Structure 1
Amino acid sequence: MNADPRRWAAGTTTTVSQSVSLSGVPAGSYRLLLNLPDPRAGLATRPEYAIRLANTGVWEPATGFNDLLRTVTVG
């Protein structure tokens, strides 16, 4: 991702546009999730140290991912 979440201001809307290659991904529908892990190697895989967005209903405590409530269709 080219955007730097450290620059996202509280109380504002941030729009990120990103192009990604999905070559090799099987056709289907996929949930779009955002993972903002702690930058320290020892904590990066621990969900409790990931950045949690303030939006209601998007946090997945088991993974530390934020569900963007969007679906990407590959096909």
Structure 2
Amino acid sequence: MQNTGGTIQFLVYTKNPYRPIPADSAKVSINFAQLGLSGPCTVRDLWTGKELGQVAGEFAPYVRRHGAKLYRISKVKK
């Protein structure tokens, strides 16, 4: 995958396995290199509208059981 635009929007969610019963929330790691992004990026929660700041390499939000979150990751413009 090659990311030429520098911005990716993605949905993070947890699955509903029957066994074992999941914890109240799960840490979901997103590796920027696997998305074609390098260097520092800004992360925005698209449902709350909050800027979550600059992150480098990986973003790992906690998502509640049966939950979902929607984020935008953009390369920092120099």
Q: Do both share a fold (TM > 0.5)?
A: no
Which structure would you say has the larger RCO, counting Cα contacts within 8 Å and 6 or more residues apart?
Answer: 2
Q: TM-score range by the shorter chain?
A: 0.3 to 0.5
Higher relative strand content: 2
The normalised TM-score by structure 2 is 0.32
**Bigger proportion of residues as helix:** 1
